[in-house]
Amino acid sequence: MADITAAAPRRRARRLNLRLWLPLLWLGTVALAALFAPLVAPHDPLMQDLMLERLPPSFMAGSEPGYWLGTDSLGRDVLSRMIHGARIALFVSVIAAATTCLFGSALGLVAGFFGGWWDRVISRLVDIWMAFPPVLFAVLLVAVMGTGLTSVIAAIALIDWTRFARVIRAETMVQARMDYVDSARIGGARRLATLISEILPNVLPSIIALLMLEMGIAVIVEAILSFVNLSISSDDPTWGSMIAEGRNAIHFAWWVLLFPLIALFLTVLSFSTLGEGLKQRFDPVLQ
């Protein structure tokens, strides 16, 4: 019985390690490929050669050496375009998610800790903002502000800050009722100092988990906007534009659609899984 009891924590630890290391391995690979894209990509992602139109991947008959994942309808290398597309996806995800996290978490902390009219104003603002369908709101914002990475990042930040505000507000309200907060107040700590030094560290695991989730959502939103040609120039490689192009050739050049779709799926899944794994690893309550 003792052996069974002792084995259970080890199994949980192994599962947790897998939830941390597998997504880290994938995201690290994508990040390194994106960072060193000019060196890693076998071809120029914008180079067109109609003589190489829709070549199959290297594991299929009729392929050409050096084109590992085949080519698209303009003879552009699919692998090179995926690698350069990863740069755009990760850039948008990091900047947009960080901006959203800082703004939404700050409002959530203030609303949950100070309460009163701070809470009422922020909560009503969140309710009004969440009344808009997020994806349609993003498309509308980019259409109004114009295409470009700045517009995409601004649209994501303006839409998704409410998720951080709601979750962090609820977490802060729970932490504010804990005994350690009363002890800090009795000890003479100011309210703002208590919020930063006592409550924020205990809310941080939830913020990290939401940040990872938001990075995955930002990748999806950027892909959606690229899919409808509202991100950057249609000539620049993005996963969304590659999926849009591959959709029209799925019956005779399925690789143009499948490979960027797999990359998008694994990246979003890795962000989500990593966030949950980090929360389980560092949340003192779960520990």
Q: CA–CA separation, 46 vs 76, rounded Å?
A: 7
Residue carrying the six token digits 């019985």:
1
The total of other beta-carbon atoms located within 10 Å of residue 62's CB is: 9
37 touches 84 (CB < 8 A): yes
Q: Which one-letter amino acid corresponds to residue 1?
A: M
Complete domains list, the chain, with CATH: 21-282 (1.10.3720.10)
**Residue 287: strand, helix, or coil:** coil
Which two three-digit tokens encode residue 193? Answer: 């100092």
Residues 6+ apart with CB under 8 A from 54: 70, 71, 72, 73, 249, 252, 253, 256
Q: Return per-residue pLDDT of the chain as tens, 287 residues.
A: 445 554 555 666 566 577 788 899 999 999 999 999 999 999 999 999 888 888 999 888 888 888 999 999 889 999 999 999 999 999 999 999 999 999 999 999 999 998 889 999 999 999 888 887 777 777 788 878 877 888 888 888 888 899 899 999 999 998 888 888 878 777 777 888 888 888 888 898 889 889 999 999 999 988 988 888 877 766 778 999 999 988 888 888 899 999 999 999 999 999 988 888 887 776 655 55
DSSP 51: G
71 touches 83 (CB < 8 A): no
